[in-house]
């Protein structure tokens, strides 16, 4: 969640409530059950880590303790590293989806390029798993596990192709 919050701040500084709304909107129905407190706990941790800085919002006299959060240079570096990270599969595909949304919103990267990088990684892992499954020395039970890995990776590949179609269509 930390990287997602940082990426959502990359476009512009925001209040905690605004960040929660951005993440919730990016996730659609999956974001409805998101705990608001999670954003504030994450912001506190990011501030302690020196990745985010908080300032008071003087624009609202009726809310004097409202804070606006912004990235520090170290926070911007971490976002850049996270956006380009190729680590697949993740146990939760919502993180990759949020990466695409944040990259597009803050113009950090082209979402289609991110999908392409992930696709190459999935293809590499499929080839590795298939080679291992074809090895005659592999125990049949382990071979079944490898078959499951290949099937999961193929499903991930199909999902990435759906992502590419959506983001390619949004460019038009």
Q: Where exactly are the structural domains of the chain? A: 1-85, 110-172
Give the pLDDT confidence of 71-96 residue by residue, as tens digits. 999 999 999 999 888 865 555 678 88
Alpha helices in 85-110 (DSSP H): 93-105
Confidence of residue 48 (pLDDT cuts 50, 70, 90): very high
Task: Kindly report the average pLDDT of the chain as a whole number.
Answer: 85
Q: Please give the pLDDT value at position 81.
A: 92
| 151-160, Cβ contacts within 8 angstroms, sequence gap of 24 or more | 152/89, 153/89, 153/122, 153/125, 153/126, 153/129, 154/126, 156/88, 156/89, 156/93, 156/122, 157/119, 157/122, 157/123, 157/126, 159/93, 160/115, 160/118, 160/119, 160/122
- Read off the pTM: 0.73
Judge: domain 1-85, CATH 3.40.47.10: no
């Amino acid at each position: 969640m930390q990287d997602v919050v940082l990426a959502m701040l990359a476009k512009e500084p925001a209040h905690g409530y605004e960040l929660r709304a951005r993440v919730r909107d990016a996730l659609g129905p999956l974001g409805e059950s998101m705990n608001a407190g999670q954003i504030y706990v994450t912001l506190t941790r990011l501030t302690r880590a020196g990745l985010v800085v908080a300032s008071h919002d003087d624009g609202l006299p009726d809310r004097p303790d409202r804070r606006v959060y912004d990235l520090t240079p170290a926070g911007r570096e971490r976002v850049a590293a996270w956006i380009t990270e190729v680590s697949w599969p993740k146990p939760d595909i919502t993180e990759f989806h949020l990466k695409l949304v944040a990259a597009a919103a803050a113009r950090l990267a082209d979402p289609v390029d991110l999908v392409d990088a992930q696709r190459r990684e999935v293809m590499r892992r499929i080839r590795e798993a298939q080679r291992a499954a074809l090895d005659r020395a592999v125990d049949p039970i382990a071979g079944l596990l490898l078959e499951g890995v290949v099937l999961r990776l193929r499903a991930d590949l199909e999902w990435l192709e759906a992502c590419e179609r959506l983001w390619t269509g949004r460019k038009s």
